[in-house]
Structures are given as C-alpha cells and as structure tokens.
C-alpha cells in the first residue's frame, strides 16, 4: 500500500491518484501550490499558507471550490488517512482538464490534490556541519514579468538552477535577479549575518516571501537582533560572517561555503545555530 491522496474530494490510494494528460497543470504548469509542514498533529502556520494559496489562485483567476476552512480540514483528513502527525503536505490546485490550447475557459473545473508524507530534505549532518552552495548562472524571473508572490507550478528556472548545483556537487544554489542582486535559492530564502545583524533580500528583489522566512524574522527580533531587508550582492554573501537558508522543508540550515569560499571560519555560526534551536523549540510545542 502506498500513500492515501486527497484528489478532488475523495481519498484514493497512491496507485489510483491519477490526473488527465489534458490537465493544464501538466500541460502548461497552470496552477498553484503550497508546501506545508505539520508538527505533532498541528499544521504549522496553516492560516498563512492557506491565505497565500488562495491569493495565488486568485491572482491567476482560479476559483478554488472549497472554503479555506474546508481546505484546511482536507489537509488534516489527508494526514489522518496516512496516520501522520509529523508530515510534509503538498497542496496543489491546477486549472483542471481542458484541451491542447491555452484557453483557460476550456477548463471548467480545477483539479485539487493533497499529498501528506514524511520528508527529510537535508540529512541531519548538514544542520551540524553546514551546506556548500554555488551561485547559479540561471537568473530568477523578473518580478515585473510575473509576481514572485504567486507560488505557481512552473518552477523550470529553479530546476535549471538546481541542475547547476547538482553538476557542481551541491544540493542548493543561490539565484540572482536580472539586476545581479541576490534573490533567493532554488527552494529556500537566504539570510546573512553581518556584524550581529541579519540581512535578507527584500520582496522587490524578486523573492517568494517564505512563511518560514517570516517566522525567522520574528524570532530574530524577539532575540533583539536587527533585521534589514536590503539589496544584497554576491560579494555581500561571500564576505558575510554567517549565511543560512530558510524554508518549509529546510527549516533553518547553515551555509559554510559559497562558490568555494568559506563563510566565516567555515563552520555553522553561533547566531544561525541559536535561530535553528529557537525554530525547533517553536515547532516542538
């Protein structure tokens, strides 16, 4: 038996969780999604994730046929069907089944599916020893072309940047925007520690404002740290005292080498480890 998947209002076995080859999510990446964590039976920051999902859907004119409360309940039901209290949840809404043309009017009904599974994006040793990353040649999409606030199913440029990292022996890469400023990583936001303050790219750098990013900013401020959302360059990254990444799956993970250059003394920094501990304390409740 595989996982039990929520698909268009029904719970189906993984082997029967199928969508049409004419679904525009498959044909054109026409859809939106959220990656969400659950800890100890509670979906983490569920309201913020659901709000962003519905905002993304509204931005591309998809009407989700569930209320936000119904969608939340469907996520909990999917967890329960898989006997999971700690889980990674992928909630996806596509334009639905249409024809081979682009016209969204040919898709009368969205496709909804929810996957709840166990996940460990990075082995624990990386949290202890840190990641090595590179800067990708692939640039992030310009925010004046398509808003990065839309968490869409089209991740091709992120995948191309990911491939660059894999070919260089790294599992994550930093992406610059078209102005040459640091934007984000393929699946994570990025933070620097400089002289005891946190620096992170601002929304207009072309980033997805991650839910975990927001939580970490709040934790840092509670610790009395200054948090600056400012334009950053590759030089700022390689000369920082500490670097770390944040994301739903990654949580808070240190970076110890960028483009072959050690960050600080080449080991996870003290503030990074404090924020990781604070985040894990928060999610353990």
> How far apart, in whole angstroms, are the C-alpha atoms of residue 276 and residue 270?
10
Are the CB atoms for 184 and 173 separated by under 8 Å? no
Cα–Cα distance list, 81 to 3, 15, 77, 86, 100 (Å) = 8, 15, 6, 13, 35
d(CA 277, CA 253): 11
DSSP code of residue 15: G
> Which residue among the candidates 141, 151, 162, 278 is catalytic per the annotation?
151
Backbone angles phi, psi at 60, to 5 degrees: -105, 15
Is 151 among the catalytic positions?
A: yes
Alpha-carbon gap, residue 255 to 266, rounded angstroms: 9
The angle subtended at Cα 236 by Cα 282 and Cα 191, nearest 5°, is 10
Backbone angles phi, psi at 151, to 5 degrees: -90, 85
On the CB side of 144, CA atoms within 13 Å amount to 2
Please enumerate in sequence order all residues whose Cβ is within 8 A of that of 257, keeping only pairs 6 or more positions apart, or say none.
130, 131, 132, 133, 263, 266
Give catalytic residues, as residue numbers.
151
């Amino acid at each position: 038996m595989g996982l039990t998947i929520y698909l268009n209002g029904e719970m189906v076995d993984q082997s029967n969780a199928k969508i049409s080859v004419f679904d525009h999510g498959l044909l054109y990446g026409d859809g939106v999604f959220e990656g969400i964590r659950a800890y100890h039976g509670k979906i983490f920051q569920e309201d913020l994730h659901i709000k962003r999902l519905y905002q993304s859907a509204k931005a591309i004119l998809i009407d989700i046929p569930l209320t936000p409360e119904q969608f939340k309940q469907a996520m909990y039901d999917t967890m329960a069907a898989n006997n999971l209290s700690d889980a990674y949840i992928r909630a996806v809404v596509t334009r639905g089944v249409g024809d081979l043309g682009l016209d969204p009017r040919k898709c009368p009904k969205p496709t909804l599916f929810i996957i709840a599974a166990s996940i460990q994006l990075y082995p624990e040793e990386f949290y202890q020893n840190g990641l090595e990353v590179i800067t990708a040649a692939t640039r992030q999409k310009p925010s004046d072309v398509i808003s990065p606030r839309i968490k869409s199913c089209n991740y091709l440029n992120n995948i191309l940047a990911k491939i660059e990292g894999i070919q260089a022996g790294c599992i994550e890469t930093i992406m610059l925007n078209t102005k040459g400023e640091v934007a984000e990583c393929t699946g994570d936001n990025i933070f620097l520690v400089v002289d005891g303050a946190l620096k992170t790219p601002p929304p207009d750098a072309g980033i997805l404002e991650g839910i975990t990013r927001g939580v970490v900013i709040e934790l840092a401020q509670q610790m009395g740290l200054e948090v600056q959302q400012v334009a950053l360059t590759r030089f700022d990254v390689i000369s920082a005292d500490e670097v770390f990444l944040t994301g739903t799956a990654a949580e808070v993970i240190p970076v110890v080498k960028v483009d072959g250059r050690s960050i600080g003394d080449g080991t996870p920094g003290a503030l990074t480890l404090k924020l990781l501990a604070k985040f894990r304390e928060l999610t353990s409740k």
